Amino acid sequence: MQTRHRIPTVFSIYMVDVLCCALGCVILLWQLYHHESEEQSAAAVEANKKNSDLNLIISNLTGEVMSLKSALDENRSQKLKITAELDAARDELSKAAELALLRKAEYDKLKSELKEARKLRAAAEATLALLQADAKDLEKKNIMTAAELEAKIRAHAGLLDKLAEAEKKLRLLTKDLALKDSDYKSAAKKADDQAGLLKLLEQQLMLLRGQNKDYLAKLDSFDVKVKLLEKDLGSGKKTLTDSERRYQELLLAHESLSKRYMISVKDLTDTKSLVAGLESDRNALARKNRDIQAAADNRFEGIMLTGKRVVFLVDMSGSMELIDENTADPDKWPLVCETVGRIMQSLVDLQQYQVILFSDRARYALGKDGRWLDYNGKATAKAAVDALKAVKPKNETNMYDAFAEAFKFRDQGLDTIYVLSDGLPNAGQGLPANANSLTEAQRTEILSKLIRSRLKTVWNRPTVGQQRVHINTIGFFFESPDVGAFLWALARENEGSFVGMSKP
């Protein structure tokens, strides 16, 4: 048995590239963190300066606010004082107006009495004139009696007394009227003065109200500015705190990256010492990559191509040369043989294999019955394909014997089976004594169930320390859906995959 030398996969030239890239990334991250830490330091200094400026602005605004509040308080006290004076002036004005009205009423009354006295005086003077005229007439005529004269004289004296009394009363009324008129004029003047003072106080009050509104507006504006600046100060403090925290984190990251940089430099030195030893593996890895690429190019679609120790079960019954039961196809069997070669070359991990043909019985296509054959690349696959092409398909399909022979390799490390067939089992162990009287469909149903049951309970049942064998099935040009269903069930129940080939 030829021993195949496997290339160690712990180290490779690609790992050296990865390490170099990782080291470059570490250095780049170290530089980035260092640059970021410097930027954060500058930002922290700027934040401190901005914080100081904000504190100064807030102090100035606080002083202005206190000054405005003091002016507002003084304005309010002055407003209260003027309001009190205005109320007092209004009271004085009201009293003066009342007094003026009273003096005017008295003045009007005296004026009316004076008018009446003047009328009475005029009447008395008129009567006196008449009496004087009568006296003159009497004196002229000397016809007046003494009694009449005396009566006339008494009447004249009475009129004189009334006249004197009226003149006296008129003088008093005139004097009193002058006094009342003076009081009235004084009260009117005082009322005018109070009205002027009231207007002046009202103007001052309006001015103070306007100043009060201006002070309140300025105070509100300063309050808003103070709140905004306090908010900016809080934000600046938070930014400063975040910057300091970020700066500390960057310092720690810088220290960590410095340590990692030193470690990476040491690792790089160690890696360089390994490069010389790994150079010799590079060509071998390149060859392996070429083999893997070739295997990928030859992958058989639909099948997960895996397996280290593999058995190929190839159906060589007579139908493998037919399209249907009445039509021959000379290209079908060669295609089946080449498919075996393609699958074999696509198994990257393939180490050992065997090819078992089955029709009415099972047989080994390449000899060494019951023993593994070593796989050595394309030459091995070509030899297998040539050996299969030399075989002539014939007879029935005894799939039971084929699986029984294949599972003899399970104790020798068998992990995968590939079944290539175009029909259902119709011969072999498991048929009853009256098999000749059964139809084709009855025989295939019995044998299909037997093989699936045998695989589940005996051949491929799970055992301690031994994994189940993966069974992949490939169907060629089958007409009946029962064939596809059977091959699909075999693969599904045994952890494998199924591919059905259509007509060419």
- 464 and 352 within one domain: yes
Beta bridge partners, 416, equal 310, 470
pLDDT band at 502 (very low <50, low <70, confident <90, very high): low
- 434 and 361 within one domain: yes
Q: How far is CA 269 from the centre of its chain?
A: 47
- 309 and 178 within one domain: no
Give the residue, 43 or 406, on which the prediction is more confident.
406
Residue 276 lies in a domain: no
- 310 and 223 within one domain: no
* Strand intervals (E) in 199-351: 309-315, 322-324, 327-328
pLDDT band at 401 (very low <50, low <70, confident <90, very high): very high
Q: How far is CA 60 from the centre of its chain?
A: 40
- 316 and 226 within one domain: no
Q: Assess contact for 312 and 355: CB atoms under 8 A.
A: yes
Q: How far is CA 216 from the centre of its chain?
A: 42
Distance in angstroms between the alpha carbons of the first and the last residue of the chain: 40
The total of structural domains in the chain comes to 2
For position 324, which CATH number holds? 3.40.50.410
Residue 41 lies in a domain: yes
Residue 261 lies in a domain: no
For position 162, which CATH number holds? 1.10.287.1490
Residue 475 lies in a domain: yes
- 365 and 232 within one domain: no
How many C-alpha atoms does 287 have within 13 Å on its Cβ side?
8
341 Cβ partners below 8 Å, 6+ apart? 381, 382, 384, 385
Domain end residue (candidates: 176, 209, 242): 242
What is the distance between the alpha carbons of residues 421 and 23, in angstroms, rounded to a whole number? 55
- 238 and 311 within one domain: no
Question: E strand or H helix at 270, and its extent?
Answer: helix 146-297
Q: pLDDT tens-digit profile of 167-202?
A: 787 788 778 777 777 776 777 777 777 778 778 777
Residue 18 lies in a domain: no
pTM over 0.85: no
Residue 182 is predicted with a pLDDT of: 78
Residue 4 is predicted with a pLDDT of: 44
DSSP 8-state class, residue 240:
H
- 304 and 233 within one domain: no
Q: pLDDT tens-digit profile of 68-109?
A: 778 778 878 877 887 787 788 778 777 777 877 777 787 778
Residue 3 is predicted with a pLDDT of: 43
Q: Which single residue is written with the structure tokens 């011969």?
A: 427
Domain end residue (candidates: 242, 272, 290): 242
Q: Is pLDDT at 248 greater than 60 in this prediction?
A: yes
- 232 and 319 within one domain: no
DSSP 8-state class, residue 319:
G
Domain end residue (candidates: 196, 216, 242): 242
Count how many residues are written for the chain.
504
Residue 279 lies in a domain: no
Residue 158 lies in a domain: yes
Give me the chain's average pLDDT, please.
80
Q: Assess contact for 340 and 314: CB atoms under 8 A.
A: yes
Q: Which single residue is written with the structure tokens 């006295």?
A: 117
Q: Assess contact for 345 and 380: CB atoms under 8 A.
A: no
- 463 and 314 within one domain: yes
Residue 295 is predicted with a pLDDT of: 52
Owning domain of residue 343: 298-501
Note the helical H segments in 298-354.
332-346
Residue 276 is predicted with a pLDDT of: 62
Closest to 300 (Cα-Cα) out of 269, 336, 331: 336
Residue 316 is predicted with a pLDDT of: 94
What is the distance between the alpha carbons of residues 365 and 55, in angstroms, rounded to a whole number? 97
Instruction: Give the number of other Cβ atoms within 10 Å of residue 206's Cβ.
Output: 10
Residue 5 is predicted with a pLDDT of: 43
pLDDT band at 247 (very low <50, low <70, confident <90, very high): confident
Residue 344 is predicted with a pLDDT of: 93
Residue 23 lies in a domain: no
pLDDT band at 2 (very low <50, low <70, confident <90, very high): very low
- 334 and 233 within one domain: no
Closest to 43 (Cα-Cα) out of 242, 257, 235: 242
- 183 and 77 within one domain: yes
Closest to 425 (Cα-Cα) out of 469, 493, 489: 489
